A and B are shown apart, each in its own frame.
Chain A
Amino acid sequence: MWRVGTVIDLHDETSTARTITLEVPDWPGHVAGQHVDVRLTAPDGYSAARSYSIASAPNSEKRVEITVERLPDGEVSPYLTQELAVGDRLELRGPIGGWFVWRTEQTEAIQLIAGGSGMAPLMAMIRSRTAFGNTAPFRLLYSVREPEAILYRDELEKLSNQDRTMMLAYAYTRVAPREWPRPPGRIDAALIAEATWPSKLGPTCYVCGPTPFVEIAASLLSACGNRSEKIKTERFGPTGGKK
C-alpha cells in the first residue's frame, strides 16, 4: 500500500515553505486536488504520517510535488522542510480523495480561493489546466499574510500575463505592497464581489486554507448566490476561534 518515492528536487518557496519533488516509479497517476499521506519512520520503528496536497499536474514522468509549510510545533513538517535531502526516500500513500478535485474535462468557469499554503492543491488545478491545454476560464483569489508569503509567485505571474482567461488577484492580511489599493485585512464581501466570478455564471468554487479562512470565504460565496453544492472546500488546522 505504501509506495516509495525518491526526492529528486527541493525548492524553498518562502522562508517557511518548501516544495519537495518525488519520483515514484509505481505512481498510478492523480487528479488535481488530490492528496498523499507521507510517512516517516524512526530507526526504532516509530512512525508518523501526515496528509499533503499534491501541487503538481498529472504527468508522465511519475513525479509528485508537495509543498510543505513548516509548523513551529510540528512533528513531520520540520523534518520535511529542514532535514530531508535530495536522494532520500520517502514513503507515501495515494493519491487520495475524489471530491476536492478538478478534472481536465471540466469546462465551466472555475473560481479558486486560497488562504496561505492552501494554494498547493489549487496550483495543481492551474498547472493541470495549462498542461492539458484546457481553456476553462479560471480565476484565483489568493489571500496571504504578506507579499513574501506567496507560493509559486513567478509561475503565477507568468501564467496570468500570458493567458487572459487565467485571472489572478491577491489579498493581503497583514502587510500589503506599497500603494496597494486595499488596506491589509481579512477577505470581505466587497473583495469577493470584486475578485470572483458573478454567481450567475455558475462557477465551481474551490476554497482551500486554514479553517477560519475557509469558513469566511465559503459563507461569503454563498451569500453572493453561489449554490452550496458548487462550493468545494478543504480545511486544515484548528478552528482558531473559541472551541
Chain B
Amino acid sequence: MAITSRGFSGRRTPADVKLPPGQYLTTDFPVLSAGPTPRTALDKWEFTIDDGTDVLRRWDWKSFRELPAETITVDIHCVTRWSKLGTTWEGVSLDTLFKGIKTDAEYAMARSYGDYTTNLPLEDLMNKQAWIAFGFDDDDLAPEHGGPARLLVPHLYLWKSAKWVRGITLMHEDQPGFWESLGYHDYGDPWKEQRYQGD
C-alpha cells in the first residue's frame, strides 16, 4: 500500500492519454547517454549484420540510404520515466535489412559507435517492430539523439533503441548489453514496468 503524500495532488495527463505505468508525458526530447556523443563521418559509417563469426551483410551510408525507407509515427518511453507521444521518424525496417538471412539464432546484440551495446530477442526486431532510423521530425537525426542512425524499437524502453548503431550480432544465447549488465532489465517492456533487474 502506497504512502499518501500529504498535500500532493499531482498534474495528471489527460484521461484520453494512456501511458505505461510510472511514466509522465513530456513534449521535450530529453537525452540520456553514458559518455560523449560519438561523431561518425558519413563516408566512414557502415552498418553490418554478423553471426559472431562472419559478416552476413554490410552497407555503407550510400547503399543504406538507397534501401526503401518508411515514415514511422510511434510513442517512445524512457526508463527515466518520460514518455513522448506521436514521434515521427524515418528509417529502414529491420525486415528489409534481414531479407534473405536464414538463422536459428534467437537473440541479437545491437552494437554502436562509442561501444554501447544492448541485447534483444531477435523476434522483437522482426515483423515491423524495429527500424534503423536516420530522420526525426522531417530532419536528419541529431547526433545527441543517435544520429546519423539509431535503432528504433518503440515497444521497449528507449535504451534498447541503441543510438549511433553500427551493427547487429546474432547470438544463440542471450548476453547482457551495457545497461543490462549494470542493473537494468534484460527485456524492458514499459507496459510491464520492467525497469530494473528483478522487475
Chain A residues within 8 Å of B145, by CB: 239
Q: Does A201 belong to the interface (CB within 8 Å)?
A: no
Most buried by B among A4, A96, A242: A96
Q: Does A122 belong to the interface (CB within 8 Å)?
A: no
Contact across chains for A96 and B30 when beta carbons are under 8 A apart: no
Q: Does B6 belong to the interface (CB within 8 Å)?
A: yes
**Count the B residues whose beta carbon is within 8 Å of the partner chain — how many?**
41
Q: Does B20 belong to the interface (CB within 8 Å)?
A: no
Label chain B's interface by main secondary structure: loop
Render B29-64 as a binary contact track against A, CB cut-off 8 A, 1 for contact. 111111111100000000000000000000000000
In the bound complex, CA of A229 to CA of B116 (Å): 10
Q: Does B100 belong to the interface (CB within 8 Å)?
A: no
In the bound complex, CA of A99 to CA of B26 (Å): 25
Contact across chains for A79 and B35 when beta carbons are under 8 A apart: no
In the bound complex, CA of A150 to CA of B97 (Å): 51
Contact A91 B2, CB 8 Å, known A50-B81, A96-B196, A233-B35? yes
> Which of A132-140, A176-184, A215-223 faces chain B?
A215-223
Contact A41 B2, CB 8 Å, known A48-B10, A228-B35, A232-B34? yes
Contact across chains for B81 and A231 when beta carbons are under 8 A apart: no
Query: Interface residues, chain B, CB within 8 Å of chain A?
Result: 2-12, 22, 24, 26, 28-38, 80-81, 114-115, 136-137, 139, 142, 144-145, 178-179, 182-183, 196, 199
- Given known contacts A37-B81, A211-B30, A218-B36, what 17 new A-B pairs fall within 8 Å (CB)? A40-B5, A41-B5, A42-B10, A47-B22, A83-B7, A83-B8, A85-B6, A91-B2, A91-B3, A98-B182, A215-B144, A228-B36, A233-B34, A233-B35, A235-B30, A235-B33, A239-B142
Query: Interface residues, chain A, CB within 8 Å of chain B?
Result: 1-2, 4, 37, 39-43, 45-51, 75, 79, 83, 85, 88-91, 96-100, 211, 215, 218-219, 221-222, 228-229, 231-233, 235-239, 241-243
